[in-house]
Amino acid sequence: MAGIYLHIPFCRQACYYCNFHFVTSPRHKNELLAALLKELELRREYLGDSTVETIYFGGGTPSLLETQELRSQVEQIRSVYPLSDNPEITLETNPDDINGEKLAAWKELGINRLSIGVQSFFEEDLQWMNRAHNASQAFESVQMALQYFDNITIDLIYGTPLLSNEKWEQNVSTATRLNIPHLSCYALTVEPKTPLQKMIHQGKLQDVNPDKQSEQFLLLMQWLKDAGYEHYEISNFARPGFRSRHNSAYWQGKKYLGIGPSAHSFDGKSRQWNIANNIQYTASILQNNIPFEKEVLTATQKTNEYIMTSLRTIEGLDLSRLDDITRGKLQAIAKKYIDAGLMKRNDDFLVLTKEGKLLADGIAAELFS
């Protein structure tokens, strides 16, 4: 069982906080899409004989593509890779791309899950982030999408300077009232080399406040628990039956193939990532060369990755999967977190409490081999 990720590196405009690989000019789009088709063909052996259970169009903004462009990619995947009976096929979309015609076309292509980049339902927040959509598009696009798709997730961002707890509550309750079955909620991170970082350094924008972010995360967990969502990964909440199969496979250490500039792949033993440059990527693929760097994981790296990802999930870290020495060390370190109320022991599993989730990365780092 495996997944395929396709990176579509085009966006309408640059959100200030974003550090993904994308360009805002569609100038070389046709050549790049041709290269994606070719990479799908060139890498047909990467997943061995694994069946593909999930396909994810991410970016960038894949909803910018014309239906025919998306269709070619879907058809190429179907013709080159063995798919399971009911694959999950997710399309990342932005509210400004959503209309009835596109929704019907996406459905007809076999897309069965939409991930909508709402971020906030408030105009001032969207402008602060330099999103391409406005507040009414945020709301109306989700309403419209629900007429075509059951399986929808939206992204929301908290911890931004303009977002009071009252506005945060309204954002979350708008989502739950709309009956959106899955939410991905992220604390705003000021990434290096982003326009956001530059503007904060220049004093043009206010910096984020970590205490406010922690407070809004705690509120979020309570509100969504009350609304019947399962907090199945630190940033992800789902109504029963609506967990993301694609992202869950990442966290379970399954294989995935990443196609396109900057896309990452994992074959169970090594990770590799394509060059994050559209022109160089396209030129190299057209000469039948995949432009990538690779890292073979050591046993220690594999264990540390497992600690990091499993602690972020609702199931937690399964001690029985570790060798005796590692398990003994982990149990000794975990004791202080259990005593401090940051972690619980459920049979063989170590699970973070709500307060522990605020410190997940630091706790995982201390547990590393």
Min CB(8)–ligand SF4 separation in Å: 9
Tell me how far apart the alpha carbons of residues 218 and 317 are, in angstroms, rounded to a whole number: 22
Asked whether position 126 contacts ligand SF4 by CB under 6 A, the answer is no
**Cis? peptide before 241, omega within 30° of 0:** no
Tell me how far apart the alpha carbons of residues 195 and 132 are, in angstroms, rounded to a whole number: 15
Asked whether position 262 contacts ligand SF4 by CB under 6 A, the answer is no
Asked whether position 368 contacts ligand SF4 by CB under 6 A, the answer is no
The residue written with tokens 């406005």 in the block is 134
Which residue of the chain is nearest ligand SF4 when measured via CB? Answer: 18
The residue range among 55-63, 140-148, 292-300, 334-342 that interacts with ligand SF4, by the rule CB under 6 A, is: 55-63
Q: Which two tokens stand for residue 11?
A: 């966006």
Closer residue to ligand SF4 in complex, CB, 10/337 = 10
> What SS3 state is found at 264?
strand
Residues in the chain: 369
Judged by CB under 6 A, the residue of 11, 32, 224, 342 near ligand SF4 is: 11
The residue range among 28-36, 58-66, 79-87, 187-195 that interacts with ligand SF4, by the rule CB under 6 A, is: 58-66
Closer residue to ligand SF4 in complex, CB, 20/368 = 20
Asked whether position 146 contacts ligand SF4 by CB under 6 A, the answer is no
The residue range among 13-21, 81-89, 188-196, 306-314 that interacts with ligand SF4, by the rule CB under 6 A, is: 13-21
Tell me how far apart the alpha carbons of residues 186 and 320 are, in angstroms, rounded to a whole number: 31
The residue range among 57-65, 189-197, 206-214, 320-328 that interacts with ligand SF4, by the rule CB under 6 A, is: 57-65
Min CB(153)–ligand SF4 separation in Å: 14
Min CB(11)–ligand SF4 separation in Å: 3
Site for ligand SF4 in 75-104 (CB under 6 A): 94
Min CB(54)–ligand SF4 separation in Å: 20
Tell me how far apart the alpha carbons of residues 38 and 365 are, in angstroms, rounded to a whole number: 39
Q: Which residues of 197-234 are buried (b: 16+ CB within 10 A; e: fewer)?
A: beebeeeebeebeeebbbbbbeebbebbeebebbbbbb
Asked whether position 272 contacts ligand SF4 by CB under 6 A, the answer is no
Amino acid at 333: I
Phi, psi of 213 (to 5 degrees): -65, -45
Look at residues 46, 84, 91 and name the one whose alpha carbon lies nearest to residue 266.
Answer: 46
Asked whether position 54 contacts ligand SF4 by CB under 6 A, the answer is no
Closer residue to ligand SF4 in complex, CB, 59/291 = 59
Tell me how far apart the alpha carbons of residues 256 and 58 are, in angstroms, rounded to a whole number: 14
Residue 297 DSSP code: P
Judged by CB under 6 A, the residue of 3, 57, 59, 128 near ligand SF4 is: 59
Min CB(61)–ligand SF4 separation in Å: 5
Closer residue to ligand SF4 in complex, CB, 53/97 = 97
Judged by CB under 6 A, the residue of 60, 62, 159, 258 near ligand SF4 is: 60
> Total binding residues for ligand SF4 by CB under 6 A?
11
Closer residue to ligand SF4 in complex, CB, 50/63 = 63
Sign of the torsion formed by the C-alpha atoms of 193, 275, 5 and 233: negative
Min CB(131)–ligand SF4 separation in Å: 7
Look at residues 105, 110, 139 and name the one whose alpha carbon lies nearest to residue 122.
Answer: 139
Site for ligand SF4 in 14-53 (CB under 6 A): 14-15, 18, 20, 22
Tell me how far apart the alpha carbons of residues 142 and 94 are, in angstroms, rounded to a whole number: 10
CA–CA distances in Å: residue 54 to residues 74, 79, 85, 90, 247: 12, 15, 11, 8, 9
Binding residues vs ligand SF4 (CB under 6 A): 11, 14-15, 18, 20, 22, 59-61, 94, 117
